[in-house]
Structure 1
Amino acid sequence: MNRPNVQTFGAARASAVLIAQSIDYADGSHEIAHVHHRAQLVYATGGIVRVVTPFGLWMLTPGQSLLIGSAVEHALHMVGEVSMRTLYIQPEALPELAYECRALKVEALLHASILGMFDPVLDDPEDTRGTLLVPLILRLIRHAFAQASESQLPLPANARLRRVCESLIAEPRNNESLEYWAEQVGASGRTVARLFRQETGMTFGQWREQLRVTDAMSRLAVGADVTAIADELGYTDARTFGAMFRRVTGMTPQQFRLSVARE
Protein backbone atom coordinates (compact mmCIF):
# COMPACT_ATOMS: atom_id res chain seq x y z
CA MET A 1 0.00 0.00 0.00
CA ASN A 2 1.40 3.40 -1.00
CA ARG A 3 1.99 5.83 1.83
CA PRO A 4 1.25 9.54 1.24
CA ASN A 5 4.09 12.03 1.13
CA VAL A 6 4.83 13.85 4.38
CA GLN A 7 5.57 17.54 3.83
CA THR A 8 7.58 19.49 6.39
CA PHE A 9 9.02 23.02 6.47
CA GLY A 10 12.53 22.60 7.83
CA ALA A 11 14.18 23.39 11.14
CA ALA A 12 14.35 27.15 10.47
CA ARG A 13 10.59 27.51 10.68
CA ALA A 14 9.83 24.68 13.08
CA SER A 15 9.08 27.03 15.98
CA ALA A 16 6.70 29.30 14.03
CA VAL A 17 3.11 28.96 15.20
CA LEU A 18 1.82 29.80 11.72
CA ILE A 19 3.49 29.60 8.31
CA ALA A 20 1.81 31.38 5.37
CA GLN A 21 2.36 30.47 1.73
CA SER A 22 1.04 32.06 -1.47
CA ILE A 23 0.84 29.73 -4.48
CA ASP A 24 -0.75 30.20 -7.91
CA TYR A 25 -1.88 27.17 -9.92
CA ALA A 26 -2.88 26.68 -13.55
CA ASP A 27 -6.22 25.08 -14.40
CA GLY A 28 -6.01 21.31 -13.96
CA SER A 29 -3.03 21.36 -11.59
CA HIS A 30 -3.07 19.00 -8.65
CA GLU A 31 -1.19 18.10 -5.49
CA ILE A 32 -0.96 14.36 -4.94
CA ALA A 33 -2.08 12.82 -1.65
CA HIS A 34 0.14 14.01 1.19
CA VAL A 35 0.08 14.89 4.88
CA HIS A 36 1.52 17.65 7.06
CA HIS A 37 2.56 17.58 10.68
CA ARG A 38 0.65 20.86 10.96
CA ALA A 39 -3.00 21.72 10.47
CA GLN A 40 -3.62 23.46 7.14
CA LEU A 41 -6.11 26.13 6.16
CA VAL A 42 -6.68 25.90 2.39
CA TYR A 43 -8.06 29.21 1.08
CA ALA A 44 -8.24 30.31 -2.54
CA THR A 45 -9.02 33.90 -3.46
CA GLY A 46 -9.69 32.84 -7.06
CA GLY A 47 -10.68 29.61 -8.78
CA ILE A 48 -12.02 26.38 -7.30
CA VAL A 49 -10.10 23.88 -5.18
CA ARG A 50 -11.33 20.29 -5.01
CA VAL A 51 -10.04 18.63 -1.84
CA VAL A 52 -10.17 14.86 -1.34
CA THR A 53 -9.52 13.37 2.11
CA PRO A 54 -10.36 10.01 3.73
CA PHE A 55 -13.45 11.75 5.14
CA GLY A 56 -14.94 13.14 1.96
CA LEU A 57 -14.81 15.53 -0.97
CA TRP A 58 -15.01 19.32 -0.64
CA MET A 59 -15.37 21.85 -3.48
CA LEU A 60 -14.08 25.23 -2.30
CA THR A 61 -14.98 28.46 -4.07
CA PRO A 62 -13.67 31.95 -3.21
CA GLY A 63 -14.95 32.88 0.24
CA GLN A 64 -14.70 29.29 1.48
CA SER A 65 -11.78 27.52 3.09
CA LEU A 66 -11.07 24.07 4.46
CA LEU A 67 -9.32 23.48 7.75
CA ILE A 68 -7.49 20.16 7.47
CA GLY A 69 -6.38 18.59 10.73
CA SER A 70 -2.74 17.69 11.27
CA ALA A 71 -1.65 14.37 9.74
CA VAL A 72 -4.88 14.07 7.68
CA GLU A 73 -4.11 12.79 4.18
CA HIS A 74 -5.39 15.08 1.41
CA ALA A 75 -5.07 15.70 -2.32
CA LEU A 76 -5.85 19.00 -4.08
CA HIS A 77 -7.21 19.49 -7.61
CA MET A 78 -7.57 22.93 -9.23
CA VAL A 79 -10.52 23.95 -11.39
CA GLY A 80 -9.71 27.15 -13.23
CA GLU A 81 -6.71 29.33 -12.39
CA VAL A 82 -6.31 29.22 -8.62
CA SER A 83 -4.69 31.82 -6.36
CA MET A 84 -4.14 30.04 -3.05
CA ARG A 85 -3.28 31.57 0.29
CA THR A 86 -2.64 28.73 2.68
CA LEU A 87 -1.75 28.67 6.37
CA TYR A 88 0.11 25.87 8.17
CA ILE A 89 -0.60 25.91 11.90
CA GLN A 90 1.10 24.09 14.75
CA PRO A 91 -1.29 21.41 16.08
CA GLU A 92 -0.77 22.71 19.62
CA ALA A 93 -2.27 26.05 18.59
CA LEU A 94 -5.59 24.40 17.64
CA PRO A 95 -5.63 21.24 19.77
CA GLU A 96 -9.39 20.78 19.67
CA LEU A 97 -9.36 20.77 15.85
CA ALA A 98 -6.36 18.52 15.31
CA TYR A 99 -7.97 15.50 13.65
CA GLU A 100 -10.95 16.97 11.83
CA CYS A 101 -11.66 18.62 8.50
CA ARG A 102 -14.25 21.34 8.28
CA ALA A 103 -15.27 23.82 5.58
CA LEU A 104 -15.14 27.36 6.98
CA LYS A 105 -16.71 30.53 5.63
CA VAL A 106 -14.08 33.25 5.39
CA GLU A 107 -15.66 36.46 6.64
CA ALA A 108 -14.23 39.88 5.83
CA LEU A 109 -11.97 40.17 8.88
CA LEU A 110 -10.45 36.72 8.45
CA HIS A 111 -9.98 37.38 4.73
CA ALA A 112 -8.15 40.65 5.43
CA SER A 113 -6.05 39.02 8.14
CA ILE A 114 -4.97 36.18 5.84
CA LEU A 115 -4.02 38.62 3.08
CA GLY A 116 -2.20 40.69 5.69
CA MET A 117 0.21 37.79 6.19
CA PHE A 118 1.53 38.60 2.71
CA ASP A 119 1.63 42.40 3.08
CA PRO A 120 5.24 43.60 2.60
CA VAL A 121 4.53 46.62 4.83
CA LEU A 122 4.52 44.25 7.80
CA ASP A 123 7.94 42.78 7.00
CA ASP A 124 10.36 43.89 9.70
CA PRO A 125 12.90 42.39 12.13
CA GLU A 126 10.41 42.70 15.01
CA ASP A 127 8.01 40.26 13.29
CA THR A 128 5.09 42.68 13.46
CA ARG A 129 3.12 40.39 11.20
CA GLY A 130 3.23 37.47 13.60
CA THR A 131 2.68 39.57 16.70
CA LEU A 132 -0.39 41.34 15.35
CA LEU A 133 -2.08 38.90 13.01
CA VAL A 134 -1.40 35.33 14.16
CA PRO A 135 -3.40 35.50 17.45
CA LEU A 136 -6.27 37.18 15.59
CA ILE A 137 -6.26 34.59 12.81
CA LEU A 138 -6.30 31.70 15.29
CA ARG A 139 -9.21 33.26 17.17
CA LEU A 140 -11.18 33.84 13.95
CA ILE A 141 -10.54 30.26 12.79
CA ARG A 142 -11.86 28.90 16.08
CA HIS A 143 -14.96 31.07 15.73
CA ALA A 144 -15.54 30.01 12.11
CA PHE A 145 -15.03 26.35 13.07
CA ALA A 146 -17.70 26.63 15.77
CA GLN A 147 -20.15 28.07 13.22
CA ALA A 148 -19.39 25.57 10.45
CA SER A 149 -21.61 22.72 9.34
CA GLU A 150 -20.73 19.47 7.62
CA SER A 151 -20.73 20.04 3.87
CA GLN A 152 -18.60 17.35 2.31
CA LEU A 153 -19.64 14.61 -0.07
CA PRO A 154 -18.93 11.37 1.84
CA LEU A 155 -16.36 8.98 0.45
CA PRO A 156 -16.30 5.25 1.20
CA ALA A 157 -13.47 3.56 3.09
CA ASN A 158 -13.79 0.35 1.06
CA ALA A 159 -10.87 0.26 -1.38
CA ARG A 160 -12.91 -0.97 -4.35
CA LEU A 161 -15.60 1.66 -3.89
CA ARG A 162 -12.95 4.30 -3.37
CA ARG A 163 -11.50 3.47 -6.80
CA VAL A 164 -14.93 3.96 -8.37
CA CYS A 165 -15.48 7.26 -6.60
CA GLU A 166 -12.04 8.61 -7.45
CA SER A 167 -12.60 7.76 -11.12
CA LEU A 168 -15.90 9.65 -11.10
CA ILE A 169 -14.38 12.62 -9.26
CA ALA A 170 -11.73 12.82 -11.97
CA GLU A 171 -14.38 12.52 -14.72
CA PRO A 172 -17.83 13.53 -13.39
CA ARG A 173 -19.35 13.37 -16.89
CA ASN A 174 -18.83 9.59 -16.93
CA ASN A 175 -22.19 7.85 -17.41
CA GLU A 176 -21.10 4.21 -17.15
CA SER A 177 -23.48 1.93 -15.25
CA LEU A 178 -23.09 0.44 -11.80
CA GLU A 179 -22.54 -2.97 -13.43
CA TYR A 180 -19.69 -1.54 -15.52
CA TRP A 181 -17.92 -0.18 -12.45
CA ALA A 182 -18.52 -3.38 -10.51
CA GLU A 183 -16.77 -5.30 -13.26
CA GLN A 184 -13.86 -2.85 -13.23
CA VAL A 185 -13.22 -3.47 -9.53
CA GLY A 186 -13.88 -7.21 -9.59
CA ALA A 187 -17.16 -7.31 -7.68
CA SER A 188 -20.79 -8.01 -8.42
CA GLY A 189 -23.22 -5.17 -9.04
CA ARG A 190 -25.23 -6.27 -6.02
CA THR A 191 -22.15 -6.10 -3.77
CA VAL A 192 -21.17 -2.63 -4.98
CA ALA A 193 -24.74 -1.36 -4.58
CA ARG A 194 -24.94 -2.72 -1.01
CA LEU A 195 -21.57 -1.25 -0.05
CA PHE A 196 -22.48 2.17 -1.46
CA ARG A 197 -25.53 2.30 0.79
CA GLN A 198 -23.58 1.09 3.82
CA GLU A 199 -20.63 3.45 3.46
CA THR A 200 -22.15 6.64 2.04
CA GLY A 201 -25.83 6.44 2.98
CA MET A 202 -26.68 6.81 -0.72
CA THR A 203 -27.25 4.63 -3.75
CA PHE A 204 -24.62 4.69 -6.47
CA GLY A 205 -26.88 6.88 -8.62
CA GLN A 206 -27.58 9.30 -5.78
CA TRP A 207 -23.90 9.61 -4.96
CA ARG A 208 -22.93 10.34 -8.57
CA GLU A 209 -25.76 12.87 -8.87
CA GLN A 210 -24.67 14.59 -5.65
CA LEU A 211 -21.10 14.72 -6.97
CA ARG A 212 -22.34 16.49 -10.09
CA VAL A 213 -24.47 18.92 -8.07
CA THR A 214 -21.52 19.74 -5.82
CA ASP A 215 -19.31 20.29 -8.87
CA ALA A 216 -22.00 22.39 -10.57
CA MET A 217 -22.50 24.61 -7.51
CA SER A 218 -18.81 25.38 -7.43
CA ARG A 219 -18.71 26.25 -11.12
CA LEU A 220 -21.88 28.35 -10.93
CA ALA A 221 -20.43 30.27 -7.98
CA VAL A 222 -17.52 31.47 -10.11
CA GLY A 223 -19.68 32.39 -13.10
CA ALA A 224 -19.34 29.39 -15.41
CA ASP A 225 -21.83 29.11 -18.28
CA VAL A 226 -24.76 26.74 -17.59
CA THR A 227 -24.52 25.09 -21.02
CA ALA A 228 -20.80 24.45 -20.52
CA ILE A 229 -21.43 23.02 -17.04
CA ALA A 230 -24.11 20.68 -18.43
CA ASP A 231 -21.68 19.40 -21.05
CA GLU A 232 -18.82 19.00 -18.57
CA LEU A 233 -21.04 16.94 -16.26
CA GLY A 234 -22.35 14.59 -18.94
CA TYR A 235 -25.85 15.97 -19.60
CA THR A 236 -27.26 16.08 -23.10
CA ASP A 237 -28.33 19.72 -22.80
CA ALA A 238 -28.74 22.58 -20.35
CA ARG A 239 -32.47 21.87 -19.88
CA THR A 240 -31.85 18.30 -18.69
CA PHE A 241 -29.12 19.50 -16.35
CA GLY A 242 -31.30 22.33 -15.04
CA ALA A 243 -34.18 19.95 -14.27
CA MET A 244 -31.85 17.69 -12.26
CA PHE A 245 -30.32 20.64 -10.42
CA ARG A 246 -33.72 22.03 -9.45
CA ARG A 247 -35.00 18.63 -8.31
CA VAL A 248 -32.00 18.15 -6.00
CA THR A 249 -31.50 21.71 -4.71
CA GLY A 250 -34.96 23.29 -5.06
CA MET A 251 -33.45 26.07 -7.20
CA THR A 252 -32.66 26.58 -10.85
CA PRO A 253 -28.96 27.10 -11.69
CA GLN A 254 -29.68 30.80 -12.26
CA GLN A 255 -31.43 31.13 -8.88
CA PHE A 256 -28.51 29.43 -7.16
CA ARG A 257 -26.03 31.78 -8.85
CA LEU A 258 -28.04 34.80 -7.67
CA SER A 259 -28.23 33.44 -4.11
CA VAL A 260 -24.43 33.11 -4.02
CA ALA A 261 -23.96 36.64 -5.39
CA ARG A 262 -26.14 38.07 -2.59
CA GLU A 263 -24.07 36.48 0.21
Structure 2
Amino acid sequence: MAAIGSLAGKLAIVTGAGSGIGRATCRILAREGASVIAADKNISGAQDTVSSVPNGTDQTHIPLELDVGDHKSITTALKSTLEHYKKPPSIIVNSAGITRDNFLLKLKHSDFDDVININLKGTFMMIQLFSNAIVEHGVQGGSIINIASTSGKYGNIGQVNYSASKAGVEGLTKTAAKEFGKFGIRVNCVLPGMIATPMTDAVPDKVREKAVKMIPLGRFGKPEEVGEVIAFLASDKSSYVHGATVDITGGV
Protein backbone atom coordinates (compact mmCIF):
# COMPACT_ATOMS: atom_id res chain seq x y z
CA MET A 1 0.00 0.00 0.00
CA ALA A 2 1.45 3.37 -0.98
CA ALA A 3 2.11 5.87 1.78
CA ILE A 4 -0.39 8.70 1.85
CA GLY A 5 0.00 11.94 3.73
CA SER A 6 1.17 15.50 3.42
CA LEU A 7 4.78 14.35 2.83
CA ALA A 8 4.23 11.31 0.61
CA GLY A 9 7.22 10.71 -1.65
CA LYS A 10 9.48 13.12 0.25
CA LEU A 11 12.90 12.31 1.70
CA ALA A 12 13.83 13.87 5.05
CA ILE A 13 16.93 13.95 7.24
CA VAL A 14 16.58 14.69 10.94
CA THR A 15 19.63 15.36 13.11
CA GLY A 16 19.51 14.59 16.81
CA ALA A 17 17.11 11.80 15.85
CA GLY A 18 18.13 9.42 18.62
CA SER A 19 15.82 10.89 21.25
CA GLY A 20 13.50 13.71 22.24
CA ILE A 21 12.20 16.12 19.62
CA GLY A 22 14.28 14.51 16.88
CA ARG A 23 12.83 11.04 17.47
CA ALA A 24 9.26 12.34 17.70
CA THR A 25 9.76 14.31 14.49
CA CYS A 26 11.00 11.22 12.63
CA ARG A 27 7.88 9.30 13.64
CA ILE A 28 5.55 12.09 12.53
CA LEU A 29 7.32 12.72 9.21
CA ALA A 30 7.14 8.98 8.49
CA ARG A 31 3.48 8.90 9.45
CA GLU A 32 2.92 11.62 6.86
CA GLY A 33 4.56 9.49 4.16
CA ALA A 34 8.18 10.66 4.11
CA SER A 35 11.19 8.36 3.99
CA VAL A 36 13.32 9.35 6.97
CA ILE A 37 17.05 9.41 7.60
CA ALA A 38 17.44 9.32 11.37
CA ALA A 39 20.86 10.90 11.99
CA ASP A 40 22.56 11.02 15.36
CA LYS A 41 26.01 10.82 16.88
CA ASN A 42 24.59 7.99 18.97
CA ILE A 43 23.97 5.41 16.25
CA SER A 44 22.18 3.00 18.58
CA GLY A 45 19.68 5.73 19.41
CA ALA A 46 19.17 6.39 15.70
CA GLN A 47 18.63 2.67 15.10
CA ASP A 48 16.04 2.54 17.89
CA THR A 49 14.26 5.49 16.29
CA VAL A 50 14.13 3.81 12.88
CA SER A 51 12.72 0.63 14.42
CA SER A 52 9.90 2.68 15.96
CA VAL A 53 8.71 4.65 12.92
CA PRO A 54 5.81 3.58 10.70
CA ASN A 55 6.57 2.07 7.30
CA GLY A 56 4.73 2.18 4.00
CA THR A 57 5.66 0.04 1.02
CA ASP A 58 7.20 3.05 -0.74
CA GLN A 59 9.17 4.25 2.29
CA THR A 60 12.74 3.41 3.24
CA HIS A 61 14.02 4.62 6.61
CA ILE A 62 17.68 4.36 7.63
CA PRO A 63 19.77 5.26 10.69
CA LEU A 64 22.88 7.32 10.05
CA GLU A 65 25.81 8.09 12.34
CA LEU A 66 26.42 11.83 12.20
CA ASP A 67 28.35 14.35 14.31
CA VAL A 68 27.08 17.77 13.23
CA GLY A 69 30.09 19.42 14.83
CA ASP A 70 32.41 17.67 12.38
CA HIS A 71 32.43 18.87 8.75
CA LYS A 72 33.91 15.57 7.54
CA SER A 73 31.14 13.63 9.27
CA ILE A 74 28.46 15.74 7.53
CA THR A 75 30.20 15.30 4.18
CA THR A 76 30.28 11.52 4.70
CA ALA A 77 26.60 11.53 5.71
CA LEU A 78 25.65 13.41 2.54
CA LYS A 79 27.67 10.99 0.42
CA SER A 80 25.99 8.00 2.08
CA THR A 81 22.57 9.56 1.52
CA LEU A 82 23.23 10.14 -2.18
CA GLU A 83 24.53 6.59 -2.61
CA HIS A 84 21.48 5.09 -0.88
CA TYR A 85 18.66 7.26 -2.26
CA LYS A 86 20.27 8.65 -5.46
CA LYS A 87 19.07 12.11 -4.42
CA PRO A 88 19.47 14.51 -1.49
CA PRO A 89 16.67 14.99 1.05
CA SER A 90 14.32 17.87 0.32
CA ILE A 91 13.46 18.16 4.04
CA ILE A 92 16.24 19.02 6.51
CA VAL A 93 15.43 19.19 10.22
CA ASN A 94 18.28 20.48 12.39
CA SER A 95 17.39 19.13 15.81
CA ALA A 96 20.82 18.15 17.19
CA GLY A 97 21.83 20.20 20.21
CA ILE A 98 23.67 20.11 23.52
CA THR A 99 23.84 22.10 26.76
CA ARG A 100 26.79 22.89 29.00
CA ASP A 101 25.11 25.07 31.62
CA ASN A 102 26.83 27.36 34.10
CA PHE A 103 26.76 30.97 35.21
CA LEU A 104 28.54 33.34 32.85
CA LEU A 105 31.28 34.21 35.34
CA LYS A 106 32.07 30.53 35.89
CA LEU A 107 31.60 29.13 32.38
CA LYS A 108 34.59 27.37 30.85
CA HIS A 109 35.63 28.64 27.44
CA SER A 110 35.60 25.06 26.17
CA ASP A 111 31.96 24.66 27.25
CA PHE A 112 31.05 27.85 25.40
CA ASP A 113 32.87 26.66 22.27
CA ASP A 114 31.34 23.17 22.36
CA VAL A 115 27.77 24.48 22.48
CA ILE A 116 28.34 27.04 19.73
CA ASN A 117 30.05 24.41 17.58
CA ILE A 118 27.18 21.90 17.77
CA ASN A 119 24.11 24.11 18.04
CA LEU A 120 25.06 26.97 15.72
CA LYS A 121 27.98 25.99 13.51
CA GLY A 122 26.60 22.47 13.12
CA THR A 123 23.29 23.87 11.89
CA PHE A 124 25.17 26.16 9.48
CA MET A 125 27.26 23.30 8.07
CA MET A 126 24.23 21.04 7.62
CA ILE A 127 22.38 23.77 5.76
CA GLN A 128 25.35 24.67 3.59
CA LEU A 129 26.25 21.15 2.47
CA PHE A 130 22.76 19.70 2.06
CA SER A 131 21.30 22.83 0.42
CA ASN A 132 24.12 22.81 -2.13
CA ALA A 133 23.14 19.23 -2.93
CA ILE A 134 19.47 20.21 -3.29
CA VAL A 135 20.40 22.96 -5.78
CA GLU A 136 22.89 20.82 -7.71
CA HIS A 137 20.40 17.95 -8.10
CA GLY A 138 17.50 20.23 -9.03
CA VAL A 139 15.32 18.95 -6.19
CA GLN A 140 12.10 20.94 -5.94
CA GLY A 141 10.22 22.08 -2.84
CA GLY A 142 13.05 22.10 -0.32
CA SER A 143 12.18 22.88 3.30
CA ILE A 144 14.64 23.45 6.14
CA ILE A 145 13.42 23.58 9.73
CA ASN A 146 15.84 24.63 12.46
CA ILE A 147 15.34 24.13 16.18
CA ALA A 148 16.03 27.36 18.03
CA SER A 149 14.76 28.05 21.56
CA THR A 150 12.96 30.61 23.68
CA SER A 151 16.26 30.82 25.58
CA GLY A 152 17.71 32.43 22.48
CA LYS A 153 14.85 34.90 22.33
CA TYR A 154 14.65 35.93 25.98
CA GLY A 155 17.90 34.66 27.53
CA ASN A 156 18.05 32.24 30.43
CA ILE A 157 20.06 32.27 33.64
CA GLY A 158 22.93 29.77 33.51
CA GLN A 159 22.67 29.32 29.75
CA VAL A 160 24.70 32.10 28.19
CA ASN A 161 26.28 29.68 25.69
CA TYR A 162 23.02 27.91 24.83
CA SER A 163 21.08 31.18 24.57
CA ALA A 164 23.72 32.71 22.31
CA SER A 165 23.79 29.62 20.08
CA LYS A 166 20.02 29.53 19.68
CA ALA A 167 19.77 33.27 19.04
CA GLY A 168 22.32 32.64 16.32
CA VAL A 169 20.18 29.85 14.84
CA GLU A 170 17.26 32.25 14.54
CA GLY A 171 19.45 34.85 12.81
CA LEU A 172 20.90 32.16 10.55
CA THR A 173 17.37 31.07 9.63
CA LYS A 174 16.27 34.55 8.61
CA THR A 175 19.39 35.16 6.52
CA ALA A 176 19.20 31.76 4.83
CA ALA A 177 15.55 32.45 3.98
CA LYS A 178 16.54 35.66 2.17
CA GLU A 179 19.25 33.87 0.19
CA PHE A 180 17.40 30.62 -0.57
CA GLY A 181 14.06 31.96 -1.78
CA LYS A 182 15.34 32.09 -5.37
CA PHE A 183 16.08 28.35 -5.18
CA GLY A 184 12.58 27.52 -3.93
CA ILE A 185 14.00 26.37 -0.59
CA ARG A 186 11.97 27.53 2.40
CA VAL A 187 13.75 28.03 5.74
CA ASN A 188 11.95 28.36 9.07
CA CYS A 189 12.63 27.66 12.72
CA VAL A 190 10.69 26.63 15.78
CA LEU A 191 11.31 27.94 19.29
CA PRO A 192 10.35 25.29 21.83
CA GLY A 193 9.87 26.28 25.44
CA MET A 194 10.04 23.67 28.17
CA ILE A 195 9.57 20.34 26.42
CA ALA A 196 9.78 17.00 28.23
CA THR A 197 12.98 15.56 26.74
CA PRO A 198 16.18 14.00 28.09
CA MET A 199 17.65 17.51 28.04
CA THR A 200 15.00 18.95 30.37
CA ASP A 201 15.02 15.78 32.48
CA ALA A 202 18.48 16.87 33.60
CA VAL A 203 17.11 20.15 34.98
CA PRO A 204 16.89 20.20 38.82
CA ASP A 205 13.42 19.53 40.24
CA LYS A 206 13.17 22.95 41.90
CA VAL A 207 13.89 24.67 38.59
CA ARG A 208 11.35 22.48 36.79
CA GLU A 209 8.66 23.23 39.39
CA LYS A 210 9.30 26.96 39.08
CA ALA A 211 9.19 26.75 35.28
CA VAL A 212 5.82 24.95 35.24
CA LYS A 213 4.27 27.74 37.33
CA MET A 214 5.22 30.25 34.62
CA ILE A 215 3.53 28.28 31.82
CA PRO A 216 -0.11 29.32 31.25
CA LEU A 217 -1.04 25.79 30.12
CA GLY A 218 0.45 24.48 33.38
CA ARG A 219 2.66 21.74 31.95
CA PHE A 220 5.74 20.98 29.88
CA GLY A 221 5.19 20.35 26.20
CA LYS A 222 5.56 16.97 24.54
CA PRO A 223 8.15 16.29 21.81
CA GLU A 224 5.29 15.26 19.52
CA GLU A 225 3.75 18.72 19.87
CA VAL A 226 6.92 20.19 18.40
CA GLY A 227 7.12 17.47 15.76
CA GLU A 228 3.64 18.26 14.47
CA VAL A 229 4.62 21.89 13.84
CA ILE A 230 7.81 20.76 12.11
CA ALA A 231 5.79 18.44 9.86
CA PHE A 232 3.52 21.35 8.93
CA LEU A 233 6.53 23.52 8.04
CA ALA A 234 8.00 20.66 6.00
CA SER A 235 4.83 20.25 3.94
CA ASP A 236 3.20 22.21 1.15
CA LYS A 237 0.54 23.25 3.66
CA SER A 238 3.01 25.97 4.71
CA SER A 239 4.06 26.87 1.16
CA TYR A 240 4.12 30.63 1.86
CA VAL A 241 5.72 30.39 5.32
CA HIS A 242 9.35 31.41 4.88
CA GLY A 243 11.84 33.00 7.27
CA ALA A 244 9.42 32.55 10.16
CA THR A 245 9.94 31.60 13.77
CA VAL A 246 7.20 29.71 15.58
CA ASP A 247 7.02 29.75 19.40
CA ILE A 248 5.92 26.46 20.97
CA THR A 249 5.75 27.43 24.61
CA GLY A 250 2.36 26.69 26.14
CA GLY A 251 1.76 30.44 26.30
CA VAL A 252 4.94 31.75 27.87
Whether the TM-score (by the shorter chain) exceeds 0.5 is: no
Q: Which has the higher helix share?
A: 2
Higher RCO (CA < 8 A, seq sep 6+): 2
Q: Which has the higher strand share?
A: 1
TM score, norm. by length of structure 1: 0.27
